[in-house]
Amino acid sequence: MARITPDPIMGHAAPLLDGETLVAEFRADRLAYWRGHLILAVALGTAAGLFLLWQGNPYPVAGPFGAAIAIAARAAFLASEALTEVWRLTDRRLLGPGGRVIPLAQVQAARPFLGSVQITTASGDRHLIKYQADPAATAARLLGARR
């Protein structure tokens, strides 16, 4: 898989500190990415078709067809960026894309959320580790490292 260099506007990935060890890396899963977009296409396509039926449109199939095309185009366009995101867990911190740094002592909760893991910090900030193959295992690993 090709690696994209960090955007200078968003910041570079935070380097490891002296004596800090890398425990795990959480990379976006390609299958979870496409599965999430397929579910989105089905849900929005159904809603679009029902809306067109409610409006009395003679071609309600245009809604699901249009939604599927639009979401597939979006998914294909954003795949190269979304699938290169890497979160790194060290013995002290959680390092995210765009230079995000979360000390493990600040992690209040980590829970699975629609194929992602939502991290809540003590200050109330929320972060998403997106497109995980097993979000429950990722959340458990984060909470286990916090102790």
Q: What is the pLDDT of residues 91-136, one digit of tens each?
A: 999 999 888 899 999 999 999 998 899 999 999 999 999 999 999 9
* Amino acid 117: pLDDT: 95
Q: Is pTM, for the whole model, over 0.85?
A: no
Q: Locate 138 and state its tokens.
A: 């990722």
* Amino acid 19: pLDDT: 83
Burial of 141 (0-12, 13-18, 19+ CB in 10 A): middle
Q: What is the pLDDT of residues 5-20, one digit of tens each?
A: 545 555 567 777 788 8
- Find out whether 111 and 117 touch, Cβ atoms under 8 Å: yes
Q: What is the pLDDT of residues 19-46, one digit of tens each?
A: 888 889 999 999 999 999 999 999 999 9
In order of 67, 74, 90, 102, 135, the CA distances from 108 in angstroms are 37, 33, 17, 11, 17
Q: Could you tell me the pLDDT band of residue 3, with boundaries at 50, 70 and 90? A: very low
Pairing of strands 116-121, 126-129: antiparallel
